[in-house]
Amino acid sequence: MKLVFASGNKNKLQEIQAALPAGIEVVSMRDVGVNEEIPETTGTLEGNAEQKARFVFEKTGLPCFSDDTGLEIEALNGRPGVDSAIYAGEPRSNERNIERVLKEMEGQTNRNAQFRSVFCYCTTHETHYFEGIVKGKLGIRIRGADGFGYDGIFHPHGNSRTFAEMTLEEKKY
């Protein structure tokens, strides 16, 4: 089975492919000729995931899925949330986003956070949503060199390492 992932993010594509069972091949939207940047204008993870999946599905006619993921920090009332990728403004930068979060978290004892991902799957006759949450805590500095986004400061519950210190296989669990 072949699915189109409505994203150009190679890191996400790699993580998703590693998490799926054998026999399911995931290709990026770029692999099927969709090279436009897809706006994320709905203000919700659910809406943005559908917006991207539907855009690519309508261009290609191929079964398509997309995600939108946000880092939700308890002490920041759920921020950066849906704005995680653009939290520090333009130009987009993982480093600048992390720097802003760490500055806002200075002196905070409540380091609880979660990654929340919403996936949307679109075909001709149906649209389905799936949600996943990984709870954890924020570190006080960046640790690790792998991963992307906020991985270098996020410690999933039950692990002293950050996502950026883990292999793809370890991150699956």
Q: What CATH number should be reported for the domain holding residue 44?
A: 3.90.950.10
Higher-confidence residue of 42 and 169: namely 42
Q: Which of 31, 67, 68, 83 is an active site residue?
A: 68
Share of the chain above pLDDT 90, in %: 75
pLDDT of residue 173: 64
Closest residue by Cα to residue 149 from 7, 33, 30, 5: 7
Taking residues 78-104, report their average pLDDT: 95
In angstroms, rounded to a whole number, what is the distance separating the alpha carbons of residues 81 and 89? 14
Any bridge partners for residue 71, and if so which?
A: 81, 115
Taking residues 24-50, report their average pLDDT: 92
What residue type is assigned to position 112 of the chain?
A: N
Q: Which helix (H) or strand (E) holds 100?
A: helix 94-104
In angstroms, rounded to a whole number, what is the distance separating the alpha carbons of residues 110 and 108? 6
- 135-148 residues labelled b (16+ CB within 10 A) or e (exposed): ebbbbeebbbeebe
Number of domains comprising the chain: 1
Please tell me whether the overall predicted TM-score, pTM, comes out greater than 0.85 for this model: yes
Which bin fits 34, alpha (ψ -120 to 50), beta or left (φ > 0)? Answer: beta
- Print the domain residue range for 141: 2-171
Respond yes or no: is residue 68 known to be catalytic: yes
pLDDT of residue 148: 87
Give residue-wise pLDDT tens across range 107-134.
999 999 999 999 999 988 899 999 999 9
Closest residue by Cα to residue 40 from 81, 2, 1: 81
